[in-house]
Structure 1
């Protein structure tokens, strides 16, 4: 009897009715044209800190507000995690500013960041930047879409 219950649970999980968070996000990504646009812009786009980390779409769930509690819950982070909120415009300022010494590669990267910033501003409201953790930091730049779904981008940074 016990084996049968375990087997049923296992079958239910394997049947696709119970999805892991990453599977749910992937399913949401496939259905969402904004996420596809973000994915196109962020292809081969890295966030530079003490490490280089890819930037990728973040597709969350319905939310009433963009808040510390919302981001911790939807990223499945511990509620006692250190969280720093940053201003969206200030976060992008250094990424989109073109310097005199930039070569073609750096200019293209800054232009991609500008496109990304404009895309997020056009399609999401209440945009905020959250840095979760210390030293090895998860960064989420998120807002609410037309259906009140938490969306945006995610990346990582190392700050010592």
Structure 2
């Protein structure tokens, strides 16, 4: 599946803190894929200033209509199945779970009010976002297919 990046309308040039965090997210998420009925790459999401992390704000910053279906999920719950070690894991699965744990830690350390938004039906865009120190909406984005 080709990755689809949503362009942010009127996005301002990121400040140095935002730019640095985006680089860290890109580095930590390199090689990570969100597994659903398809495997989708995980990459940084950099938005604009926001007063709060809300469905309305995410739809606005991803240029979606207000009627677009959105499911809000808990940040910790989202990462639980990605970071949980199973007794059948081999080295590759263990390394992947650790990378997801590192990504979760990076987001928690640098962003506040973290939330997960699944946007759309069946073919979903997933945004795991919070506010950085400059109140920019940022985090990660990926895709999923859920039938």
Cα deviations across residues 51-100 of structure 1 (Å, max 9, x unaligned)?
Answer: 00000000000000000100000011121100000000000000000111
Gaps of 5+ in 1: 1-19
Equivalent residue, structure 2, for 1:17: none
Say if 2:22 is the partner of 1:35.
yes
What count of residue pairs does the alignment treat as equivalent? 141
TM-score (norm 2): 0.90
Equivalent residue, structure 1, for 2:34: 47
Displacement of 1:123: 0.4
Say if 2:136 is the partner of 1:149.
yes
Say if 2:65 is the partner of 1:78.
yes
Runs of 4+ in 1 over 6 A off after TM superposition: 23-26
Q: Which has the larger radius of gyration?
A: 1
Specify which structure has the higher proportion of helix: 1
Gaps of 5+ in 2: 1-5
Cα deviations across residues 84-141 of structure 1 (Å, max 9, x unaligned)?
Answer: 0000000000000011111111111100000000000000000000000000000000
Distance across 2 between alignment mates of 1:106 and 1:26: 38
Which structure is higher in RCO with an 8 Å CA cutoff and minimum separation 6?
Answer: 2
Cα RMSD of the aligned pairs, angstroms, is: 2.1
Equivalent residue, structure 2, for 1:99: 86
Distance across 2 between alignment mates of 1:106 and 1:75: 32
